[in-house]
Structure 1
Amino acid sequence: MVRGTDTKALVFDLVRALERTSRAELVKRTGLTGASISTITRRLLDEGLLEETGRAPSTGGKPRTFVRVAPDSRYAVGVHLTRTDMVLVLTDLLGAIIGRTRRELPTDPGKGVGQGCLRETVQEAIAEIIAGTGIDNTKLVGTGVVLAGPADRGLPGTTSATDRDELRAALERSTGMPVLMENDATAAALGEWWVSPSGRADDALVVYLGAGIGGGLLVGGRLQRGTSANAGELGHVCVDLNGPVCTCGARGCVEAVAGPQAVVSRALLDPDIAGPAGLGAQVGSRGSVEADFAAIARAAHLGNESARRLLAESARALAVAIRSVVNVLDNAAVILTGPSAAGAGAVYLRAIESELKLRYGAAASRPVSARLSQNCGTAAALGAAAMVLDAAIRSS
């Protein structure tokens, strides 16, 4: 992620994305002088963020020394809170998951999750995952907590920004570390960039399928936030002027037409899908929207034609929305991620690839790549941890 004049962060990002490189290569890629690169690299080595890893064969002069990120020099915890559960990961500096756990959130019927109970549950889970991995606690740089977007949505069972601030303050007191908060789709985009090889996610639309449809936007290696921190909110692109009313108040948003919750609602009305998929009487009967959607995807995979048609219709609508965004932004890549993409990703990816061939100027320009993330199930939690690691590098 290019960060303007933050040369230290720029050099670190390049080393991380290239996996292993030399000072000479850093000079070539950054345009900085050899003396500047040597100074910055030495600082990163002294802070333990980089480590030297062998030399290139000598060609007559001084052999080049390679450097890489020291993965065990920093760690972070990422927490993804949904309405029904939370997923936690603990990652090293390269985003590799060292520990992972999932907990259901305790709820009171009709009242949701009590704020005090939520704080205690999250605190206990963070302490548990740290203890379970056995890492050096002095290398922990903080915790990231992400929620279902958009950014102004409250915590599970709560409604106000004050609740979020109270949770952050309570976690900072209990862990003694910084706590950052973000929406899940934006965090997932940052996480995808953090773990991707050089150039693979620098200009990308990251599409997040959870209970709904979200998105994050990477341009020139920078995470775009927008004036209300909701840049890339793909779910509210209109695909049907006369479609159903969305939760945002508009008609025909792709989330209302074809999001996972909309798919589950339609499946419940079709006995040819609801029965074979084992759906209950209402949305979320299997524990969450994502669990219901996964059951429909399994039924489709096992040959249920009605389920296949339903997913294909959803995928086509999402693909049309993605094409519209790519036409405007001219992204180099589309990355599909999120828990609902884990089971149905192949169906959606095919539709996206087909639709991208119809984008403006497709015949005369470089193809837009479309791919499925390797971290669909933990994308938001991984992004939460990456958010903390990124902030630590910039502030150190």
Structure 2
Amino acid sequence: MVKATNCLRRSYPGVVQRFQARGANILFLKGSLRRSYAAQAVAHLPSELQQKIVETPDLRTHRSPITNGRIGSDIYTQLNEAAEVIQTTTVPTENALLDALRSCQQLAQAVSSESALKKQRSDKQSEGSASRSSPIVDLSIRQSSHSQRELLRDKITDMAYRIVTDPKTFMSPSILETYVSTLCTLHRPQSFPYIFDLYAVKPIPNPGTSPTTYSEADPNSVKAAVPLQVASAALDAAIESRDLALCLSVISTTVSTQAYIRNRCLRRAGPAVTAVGTTPLISYQLAVAWADYSDRLEPGFAFWMSFACFMTFFASTSVTGYVGVTTAYNSNRVVWRSGTPLHRRWTRKQEREFADRVADAWGFRSHLKRGEEEGEEWAFLKEWTKERSMHLDKPELMEGME
């Protein structure tokens, strides 16, 4: 087509100028638009020249930067290879599932990087060719590229979703993390609440059985808790999508679950409880040693006095530390309501922090405008926090209300 266009320029420059006057330069058009304009120009030529142009081979076939370029050449092949892991009748191994999901993750990163590069190029071309091409033509080209990228994102998202939701897939923390990372790269967080629920209740396939048998999962088990870094990444993606219902659903299915609270208590409170449990034994050993070295008091009186002193010291220190840990938090807008038990404040600390991040994203950035937010979503967010013993924008903590 380029050769035909050059032939048009040499033989019939008036025809080309006629279409350039309409705001379209044939050499700067792409794909079907370029062929359409050239075909209209060829229709005005004599039949001999039309036959010559038709017989001229096209030396520069249009290649889409995604579907036919560096990414698109192997994308469907990689997706088909990833699908093979769930097409077997046996339970796939975790390594095989991770390899399939990582292939989807690599494709997602490639599509995202190609999209960013394409956007930069289109911005530069739109600036450089603003006086040479029509805005309608540029808009059509951008919409075509955008639809191709969205189609690829849909296919990658669908493949990753099929892998993790397949009945024979055991959803381990690594698989869940890879899935969330892939969809965060694609900016498709809509399935996160369902996947987090499925992570807790999905039956566990038993490997080596034919037909495959399954074991029931305990949704309140410590192992059913979604890792904190995964929940945080999912919340960031939901906030970026500007979907309040999705943000609150992510919070409800991750850090608000009974499984996460038990997991947090086991990991964080377990060592402290163990230390408190050994306090009497440590105090007893110290009291015995103190009674042996004391030469002014009777051994029995010295033992009980020193034992009481050591227990009082450890108890007072533990209570002070407990109050400090359960009441200390960095809050921006969401705080606990007065009267909320200290243990509830500590066990649901991440829930309050996540709600604070959502409120900060939906509210005004300026401290002077806080408290002036209106709308249905903001009212729903305030009601949601109130049901969980939280307070959004407490008046005495706002700027200028001390």
Please, what TM-score do these two structures have when normalized by structure 2?
A: 0.18
Please, what TM-score do these two structures have when normalized by structure 1?
A: 0.19
Query: Which of the pair is proportionally richer in helix?
Result: 2
Query: Which of the pair is proportionally richer in strand?
Result: 1
